[in-house]
Structure 1
Amino acid sequence: MKTVIIVYSTILLGILGLTSGLFLAFAASKFAVKEDPRVKLVEAALPGINCGACGFPGCSGFAKAYADGKVPKEGCIPGRRSGVPEKLEAITKTSQEKILAIWKESGEDAEKALQKLLSATGAPPKPVPKKPVRPSPDEVAKYKGMLKDNELASLIYGTLPNIDCGLCGHPGCAAFALKLAASEEKPEKCVPGMRQNVPEKVAKIKKMSSNEIKKMLEETAGDPKKIKEKLGG
């Protein structure tokens, strides 16, 4: 008798578990928040390097803001040279009905859908620059170590975004700071730093005497945040 009760209890629990699983699967499918294809298309049009130059922590944040009409098409600074504004304008001018149709035809693949949309709208193609490569932790550490023997580069490093995005073409902000200190690069190549007035700050530092540079490094202990505050933002 006890064995029969255990068997029936096990079967009942199994049925309850299966029913619950089916219900949860149905609920997840029914109430799932579907992604807006327009946002995905905008994100696909962006460089995808998450540099933060637009003021958002990543390309997905900018894509959502653009789709909501909160930022201009020129807001992606690195994307200006690869035709991002033109691509975003093409997306904006395309009706939601057309976007949904292209989205389905492309199997919900954002890259394929973007290419279909651009071809359909006749948007002028622009060659996409090679995506910058972020430096490895070892590379970052190597060039940071070299700053110790270069006070000018150390102070310049404090003005940079310190995100090691690689947009400047160098393996990290420390490597770029060393190049700037040696006048072998232009501060305008730091795209994320344009919003932080990096070129002006670097120019200001280069006008300082060695004693003034040394004093600022001592007062700030070389802390980038404090250096930025000293130089005005």
Structure 2
Amino acid sequence: MTVVNSVLFMAILGIGAGVFLAFASAKFAVKKDPRITLIEASLPGVNCGACGFPGCSAFAKAIADGKAPLDGCIPGKRSGVPEKLKLIMETDVDKLTVLFEEAEEDAEKALEKLIATSGKEVKAAPPKPKRPTQEEIESYKEKLKENSRATLIFAVLPNINCGICGSPGCAAFALKVAGKEENADKCVPGKRQNAPEKVAKIMELSQSEIQKIIEDTSGEPAEIKKKFES
């Protein structure tokens, strides 16, 4: 009998502890800031680094913390991103939480509802840049071997293959720029690294000057980039 009572007591104690822990977990749970999720949903999502942060998630958190400018997303400037971020930051957090929950934690839907109920005009976001496949990236890198000027241009680009320029990777873009089919300014992430200015210098080089740089650096992108840093 004593054994049975002990088992029952332990069972009741275990159930009580479980209920208490569940209650405490719900009561004291730290809710995720909905602004971060909605801000990230407003961004292009290409993680280009042009904002100065390591990816869109880091930039979204910095915005929510007031540590980054609303117009810091360079690719998003033309698609109304600053306006969306301003709307999110000006909206009460509790209201954002309700919208997020009503949208079943679907950030895109919550953002659409926020814009619709705000009464403000916000530009529709264009389709997100399409990232190239690894096969495409490698195929264009192979073609660089046949174009020394494009090889130098490729070296001074960010080499993140974000797709913002519309080309399937940085190597493909470098080939187009070398052939004067594209303007280096289309490399948005590269602007922070002065890539357009470096490309302009490369375009002015003679073929013999280009060949000397290739020979001096053994064609290594990192070494080539150093040549244009100063």
TM range (shorter): 0.7 to 0.9
CA shift in 2, pair 1:137/1:17, >3 Å: farther
- Match of 1:121, as an amino acid? S
Residues 83-130 of structure 1: per-residue CA shift (max 9 Å, x gap):
001101111211223223322332222112111211222221313222
CA distance in 1, matches of 2:62, 2:182: 33
CA distance in 1, matches of 2:54, 2:27: 31
Partner of 1:126: 123
Shift of 1:33: 3.9
Structure 2: where are the runs of 5+ without partners?
1-10
CA distance in 1, matches of 2:164, 2:118: 30
Shift of 1:38: 1.0
Residues 116-163 of structure 1: per-residue CA shift (max 9 Å, x gap):
211222221313222111111111111100111110000000011111
After TM superposition, the structure 1 = structure 2 runs for residues 180-199 of structure 1, keeping only pairs within 5 Å, are 180-199=177-196
SS of residue paired to 1:74: coil
CA distance in 2, matches of 1:74, 1:184: 29
Partner of 2:114: 117
Partner of 1:141: 138
The range that moved more, 76-85 or 46-55, is: 46-55
Partner of 1:55: 52
SS of residue paired to 1:78: coil
Q: Among residues 36, 40, 63, which one is paired with 2:37 in the alignment?
A: 40
CA distance in 2, matches of 1:195, 1:182: 23
SS of residue paired to 1:195: helix
Identity of aligned residues (%): 60
Determine if contact 1:86/1:123 at 8 Å carries over to the other structure.
no
After TM superposition, the structure 1 = structure 2 runs for residues 1-233 of structure 1, keeping only pairs within 5 Å, are 32-232=29-229
- Match of 2:184, as an amino acid? P
Q: Tell me the TM-score normalised to structure 2 length.
A: 0.87
- Match of 2:50, as an amino acid? A
- Match of 1:158, as an amino acid? A
CA shift in 2, pair 1:218/1:28, >3 Å: farther
CA distance in 1, matches of 2:21, 2:220: 51
The range that moved more, 20-29 or 147-156, is: 20-29
- Match of 1:171, as an amino acid? P
Shift of 1:186: 0.3
**What's the C-alpha RMSD, in Å, of the aligned pairs?**
2.8
Shift of 1:218: 2.0
CA shift in 2, pair 1:125/1:19, >3 Å: same
Structure 1: where are the runs of 5+ without partners?
1-13
- Match of 2:105, as an amino acid? E
Shift of 1:217: 1.7
CA distance in 2, matches of 1:194, 1:52: 11
CA distance in 1, matches of 2:34, 2:55: 18
How many equivalent residue pairs? Answer: 228
Shift of 1:26: 6.7
SS of residue paired to 1:103: helix
The range that moved more, 127-136 or 182-191, is: 127-136
Residues 49-87 of structure 1: per-residue CA shift (max 9 Å, x gap):
212111222111100000111111110011111100110
Partner of 1:9: none
- Match of 2:47, as an amino acid? N
CA shift in 2, pair 1:23/1:148, >3 Å: farther
CA distance in 1, matches of 2:134, 2:101: 41
